[in-house]
Chain A
């Protein structure tokens, strides 16, 4: 049996905020209603719901169960949750659609990133025996990675500052992000280190956010969107959790995922890369073989708005919107998870 044609047909994102006083359910509810309204369907038309979030971020076990309140569970629904970024929930929904059991799925994710010390919380994703007890935090681990990349000549400080400068410039046009500074590349390079060799602009801005995406198969997708963003390839690969056992200056899981998703088969107009640190964007571009002609992160990317557990799904939303609008024909959406680009999910979408 061949694969079904599946497309993103609608997206909705919540503008980023810091120290939101809304609960996660209150963050999600309006966004879910918005994406349903945009696509012109009702809750009852959704065959499968899939949610991405992280209980450690709210400090409440099973907090994700409450999120079902935001979608309404009566009459009974079929739903699932991943303890991960919503992009991985999208992957699960894609698999569910492939089974042929349902034709329309709604994927959503939320992250109240600023309600706790996210750098420490994400530390709990590291190996619980040898790394997590040291509480290195992602900023410190990423600084070690950046140092390795700089010393190997894989990236330069100027390239990293250029990534930050471009992200902040593009983020200003994106209503969902927080606007960055107005500094030039040279000014950015004169800023002090926060975690040597990383400066403040090298690290993503943690924000609270939520988003939702509707996927549909075949004729349903053609009916629901003028120009659906058809998923032509999607793949998820994982490097070992043992930090000392993998190369810090490349991302082999990103390379394989990009190959399997078919990135290199044709030109990519727009790539939305989930890179929480500037040097990681450079690593990902190299790992996936993206050329200079690809427009990287026109949204500003996760650097200017990083709602943890929602920033990856935001990349899918941004990439799909560029297909909807006709500004791009073939796009790439990417999500990473774990320390130092441990996991990489790559998706290629096309307009017709």
Chain B
């Protein structure tokens, strides 16, 4: 409380603590990450493979995704964005690339960073692979992967995969 300028001010922070559960159907994804594995889920109805299997259900079919499928680790950039704008709390040197990556065997892309190449060289169809953090830093998180980097393989011709994305 301060009254320096004749106004009374109150600071009343709000905080609530929760117990969060990943749910049985998404747990294999998080448990896989603890072991350096990329585990997605296949829909029993439309056969789409989701990585990550958000909520453990197929949003198209409203079915539980029961079957674990290992995907990647390599993938293909489906679209990307070169970030040039500084913002509070930024940890990465500008410019950097945030890309949608379709992991091999998955039907939806996921977002990650592209490093170890010039931003201007990043392109749709570029083949990339994950660079993992030191194992001692791993947890149930996609942050176990520091970033993705180009593999040097020939580009994937986009549109040739049957993605659900």
CB within 8 Å of A: which of B40-70? Answer: 54-62, 64
A43, closest chain B residue (CB): B62
Interface size for B (C-beta < 8 A) is 24
Contact A124/B55 with A22-B23, A29-B64, A43-B62 known, Cβ cut-off 8 Å = no
B23, closest chain A residue (CB): A23
Q: Does B21 contact A (CB under 8 A)?
A: yes
Docked CA distance A70–B63 (Å): 8
Task: Tell me how far the C-beta of A309 lies from the nearest C-beta in chain B, rounded to whole angstroms.
Answer: 15
Q: Does B26 contact A (CB under 8 A)?
A: yes
Decide if B62 touches A22 in the complex (CB within 8 Å): no
Query: Mask for A14-46, Cβ within 8 A of B = 1, else 0?
Result: 000001111101100100110000000001000
Contacts of B20 in A (CB 8 A): 58-59, 115
Decide if A133 touches B10 in the complex (CB within 8 Å): yes
Contacts of B12 in A (CB 8 A): 133
Decide if A21 touches B62 in the complex (CB within 8 Å): no
Q: Does A151 contact B (CB under 8 A)?
A: no
Q: Does A218 contact B (CB under 8 A)?
A: no
Q: Does A120 contact B (CB under 8 A)?
A: yes
Decide if B24 touches A25 in the complex (CB within 8 Å): no
Docked CA distance A66–B10 (Å): 36
Q: Does B84 contact A (CB under 8 A)?
A: no
Contact of B18 among A26, A58, A73, A124 (CB under 8 A): A58
- Top 8 nearest A-B pairs (CB, nearest first) are A72-B62, A23-B23, A133-B12, A25-B55, A74-B60, A69-B59, A116-B18, A59-B18
- Sample 27 A-B pairs with CB under 8 A, ordered by A number: A20-B21, A22-B21, A22-B23, A22-B24, A23-B22, A23-B23, A23-B55, A26-B23, A26-B55, A29-B57, A29-B62, A32-B62, A33-B62, A58-B20, A59-B16, A59-B18, A72-B58, A72-B59, A72-B60, A72-B61, A72-B62, A74-B60, A115-B18, A116-B16, A116-B17, A116-B18, A133-B10
- Please list the residues of chain A having a beta carbon within 8 angstroms of any beta carbon in chain B: 19-23, 25-26, 29, 32-33, 43, 56, 58-59, 66, 68-74, 115-117, 120-121, 124, 133
